[in-house]
Structures are given as structure tokens and as C-alpha cells.
Copies of this chain bind each other. A is one copy, B any other.
Amino acid sequence: MPSGYDGRVLQTLDMHGAGVGDRVAIDSDIRYTGTIMPRYHHSDDSHIVLKLDSGYNVGVSILGITGIRILERRPAPPPSTPPPEPRGDLPDILLVSTGGTIASRIDYRTGAVTPALDAAQLGESMPELYGMANIRPLQLLSEYSENITPEHWLEMAHTIHEEHSKYAGIILAHGTDTMHYTAAYLSFALAGCDTPIVLTGSQRSSDRASSDAALNLAGAVSAIIQGIPRGVYIAMHHTQSDDTISIHHGTRARKSHASARGAFRTINGEPAYMVSGGVLERHSHKDYWNGIAYSPAISVDRRAALVKYHPGYDTALLDHMSECRAVILEGTGLGHVGREAYHTIQSMVRRGIFVGMTTQCIEGSVRMTVYESGRDLLDIGVVPLRMVPETALVKAMWAASRDTDIHDAMVSDMASEMA
């Protein structure tokens, strides 16, 4: 494995027989105990990067080091054991791995910096899951979710479309950063799919004592084997506590905390279900696709943009969106932008670009008839959208790729996106 170290630091490591992935005690001004990580590209060339037991990294200058003691050698990769034979009395679940922190156990342990745990290893790392269901692992991608693109959404949708009829449910292990965008996409592209689709991930990698990976995955499995109805869901910790997993509607959740375990929240409402002490409890669930029969529509058009409005917004930027089929404004309050922007927005509408309005307030919805600004924007042709901005953007990218009228698609509730 490339360690990124060279020169004096590599010499120091070699001198002590230590390498990336080893758990060590380094004596310097104080004693540091942790796992040697690869060097960051941006760090200087005189520090060893150590992941402390707290999970965070420090750089230890080689200048003050008086000794390095190996506490534990970098573990050999666990032998890959085939999953147990399927049992006839257990439901079948497909576990599709796309990457993300949930799939980064080996990554953290050995110091590699890309997601490295495949779906089979993910299943193996949580053997208790095999007592609950026949889990078939399928490795699709290995990406942190900030690198997930609309084209990846298509891959996921095609895979689920091809496989879904064989399973009681599909679990998608996914990075949390953009999990809600993917969940929204699958909700529109696979509308009416009879097999429940549950996205799950983790905020702490599986090798950390505080990891939420196993419980989130177990929550997703529990939801499926206890008969959650069709729909696209996000299963993640409800709070910091391990007691409860929230099962959010996939079109209404947002990643609402950058680091906490209870990172996802249903906006403008309660989660659809909770798994509490292993038991699936219904909360605000309604029929996700409101009677729609399955008719996959797997396509996407990137020509949609999301614009967060702010005082001093340079409206010339909107002129550069003339290739867009749709622009989603994230306006202020009940759905406003300053009158400085009216002229440009009007010309976009006249050119046939769909312009939809959402709110940058976290909770609440647009209501554009209350104030003059909203009424002016309605007048211009801006369309109020009662859904979170992220879902509106994804829906616009999907609608723009279909034969249907974008406006018609955007204003009808397809996948419980309208609170």
C-alpha cells in the first residue's frame, strides 16, 4: 500500500520497523497512541499522521520523537468467507454497496483513503444479519457519496430494476453526504416498485467503537423483514442514541448534521417508521407512490440547476443557465427573491425554462400568495414547489429527461415529496 511518506519521515518509520496500519505508541513531548495513517498530500514532510483512539488524526513531528513502539501489527485482511447457505425460512435481501463510510472499515484500519469494504465484507462484518435474512451482497460502486453523479443514479436504478423481483427488499449501502439526493432519484425513476428500497449508511466507520453502521444496517433489515410497504426509505440513527433507527421517506429527508449519528431528519414531519428495540413502528407513513403502478423511467438530464438566492446575488449568473431546462430557486422565506432578479427570471421563463421556487428556510413551505414579492413572482411565471430544494432539483433532472411536460411533473405529488 502506498504510504505517501518519503525522506526523513520514511527513514524514521523504517528505523523503528513501523509502517502504515500499525498501532503504535510514539514517545515525543507526550506519548501518542494510535494507528499510523498514510501521509496527507497537503501535510508537510516532517510529520507522522496518527489516528488516535478518539478517531481523529494528529501529525506528530519526527523531530521530537524519542521512540516508537509497535503495539499491534497492521492486521492481515480477513479471509473472505462465503456467506452462509441461504435458509428456506428466511427472506432474501439484496445488499448493494456503493461505497461511503459504511463501507470503509478496512479503509480506516489499514489507512487506505478510499472506500474499500465490498458488499460481501460488509455482510461478513455483521454476522448477526445472517440470522435475520439471506443477504446477497452485490458490489456496484466504491465511491464516497460526494462523488456520486446522476449517471451513478442510473446504474443504481438499473440494478434495482433488474434484481428487485427476486427479493423481499433491497438495501443500498451509500455514503451519507448525498444519500437523500439518490433516494429522491430512485423515488421518481422507480416509481411504484413493489420491492421496498432502503438506503443506509453510517456517520462513523465500522472500525470505530462508536460506529452506527451495524445498527443502521440492522434497522434496514428489520424494516424489510417486518414488512415495510413499498417505497424508498433512508434508515439512519434517530438521535445519538443506539435505541432507535428512523426510517425516513426518501423524498423528504435531509442530511441535517455534518457529523452526528442522528444526521438525517424528515423535513416538515415525522419519519415514516421507526425501528425501536428491533420492532418496526409506523409513524407518518402513507402509501409512498399513492397507487402508482410500477413503470420504471430510468433517465436523467443534468440540465437543471439549484440556485440559493441571497442579498447581492449576481443575477448575471442566471444568464449563464440558458442551457438549462429547469432552474430551482432556493428563495427566502415563503418563496421570495429580490426584485433585482425579476427581469432575468422573467426572460428565463420566456425562453421556456421551467423556474420553480423552494425555500432556504429549513422547515415550512413556499406560499407565494401572501406577500407582494411572491405574487409578483407568480405573475412572472415562477412555480411554487412544496418540497425540499434537493428533491425539487432531482425531480427536475428526472422530469427534464422524460417526454412529459416538466411543469406538470413538478406540480403533481408522485413520491410523497409534498409534505
Collect the chain B residues with CB atoms within 8 Å of residue A145's CB: 332
With A41-B376, A146-B333, A333-B255 known as contacts, the answer to whether A362 contacts B364 (CB < 8 A) is no
Known: A178-B332, A255-B332; 12 extra A-B contacts, CB below 8 A, are A42-B375, A114-B372, A146-B337, A148-B338, A149-B312, A255-B333, A258-B333, A258-B367, A260-B363, A300-B312, A317-B321, A320-B320
Q: Taking each of A146, A176, A308, A361, which has the highest tally of chain B beta carbons within 10 Å of its own beta carbon?
A: A146
Interface residues of A in 278-325 (CB under 8 A from B): 300, 302, 304-306, 308, 310-312, 314, 316-317, 320-321
| A274 within 8 Å of B (CB atoms) | no
Min C-beta distance of A117 to chain B, whole Å: 15
Residues of B close to A390: CB separation below 8 A: 310
Chain B residue nearest to A107 in the complex (CB): B372
Q: What string of 1s and 0s marks CB contacts (under 8 Å) between A146-178 and chain B? A: 111110110000000000000000000001111
List the B residue with the shortest CB-CB distance to A152: B311
Tell me the nearest residue of chain B to A360, going by C-beta: B255
Q: Pick the contact of A333 from B177, B308, B314, B336 — CB < 8 Å?
A: B177
Taking CB atoms, residues of chain B closer than 8 Å to A372 are 113-114, 144
Q: How far is the CA of A363 from the CA of B178 in the complex (A)?
A: 16
The verdict on A263 contacting B361 (CB below 8 Å), with A42-B375, A369-B40 known, is yes
A330 CB contacts on chain B under 8 angstroms: 308
- Interface: A202 (CB within 8 A): no
A306 to B148 Cα, complex, angstroms: 22
For the complex, count residues of A whose C-beta is within 8 A of B. Answer: 77
Asked if A366 CB lies within 8 Å of chain B CBs, one says: yes
Is the CB of A340 closer than 8 A to any CB of chain B? Answer: yes
Given known contacts A332-B146, A332-B255, A260 and B320 CB-to-CB distance under 8 angstroms: no
User: CA A257 – CA B114 in complex, angstroms?
Assistant: 38
Query: Is B314 in contact with A150, judged by CB distance below 8 angstroms?
Result: no
- Could you tell me the distance between the alpha carbons of A393 and B310 in the complex, rounded to whole angstroms? 9
**Is the CB of A259 closer than 8 A to any CB of chain B?**
yes
Contacts of A335 in B (CB 8 A): 258
**A379 CB–B CB distance under 8 Å:** yes
Interchain CB contact under 8 A, A317 and B314:
no
Q: Are B331 and A146 in contact (CB-based, < 8 A)?
A: yes
Query: Please, which residue of chain B has its CB at the minimum distance from the CB of A301?
Result: B312
Indicate if A119 sits at the interface (CB-CB under 8 A): no
In the A-B complex, the 4 residue pairs with the smallest Cβ-Cβ separation, listed nearest first, are A258-B364, A177-B332, A146-B336, A42-B379
Given the contacts A181-B310, A305-B314, A308-B306, A361 and B257 also touching, CB distance less than 8 Å:
yes
User: Which chain A residues (336-392) contact chain B, with CB distance < 8 Å?
Assistant: 336-340, 359-367, 369-373, 375-376, 378-379, 390
Q: Determine whether A57 belongs to the interface, using a CB cutoff of 8 Å to chain B.
A: yes
Residues of B within 8 A of A56 (CB): 369-370
Is A334 in contact with B259, judged by CB distance below 8 angstroms?
A: yes
Given contacts A181-B311, A258-B334, contact A378 B149 (CB under 8 A): no
15 contacts between A and B (CB under 8 A): A42-B375, A56-B369, A101-B371, A144-B372, A144-B373, A146-B331, A146-B373, A148-B311, A153-B311, A178-B332, A181-B311, A254-B362, A257-B361, A258-B333, A259-B334
User: Does A210 count as interface, using CB distance less than 8 angstroms?
Assistant: no
> Within the complex, which residue of B41, B176, B302, B371 is in contact with A375, where a contact is CB–CB below 8 Å?
B41
Chain B residues with Cβ under 8 A from A337's Cβ? 146
B-chain residues with CB within 8 Å of residue A314 when the two chains form the complex = 302, 305
Q: In the complex, which residues of chain B have a beta carbon less than 8 angstroms from the beta carbon of A178?
A: 310-311, 332
Most chain B CB inside 10 Å of its own CB: which residue of A42, A150, A331, A340: A42
Decide if A258 touches B114 in the complex (CB within 8 Å).
no
The distance from the CB of A177 to the nearest CB of chain B, in whole angstroms, is 4
With a cutoff of 8 Å between Cβ atoms, the chain B residues found around residue A316 in the complex are 320
CB-based nearest B residue for A42: B379
Asked whether any CB of chain B lies closer than 8 Å to the CB of A256, the reply is yes
Q: Specify which chain B residues have a CB less than 8 angstroms from the CB of A215 in the assembled complex.
A: none
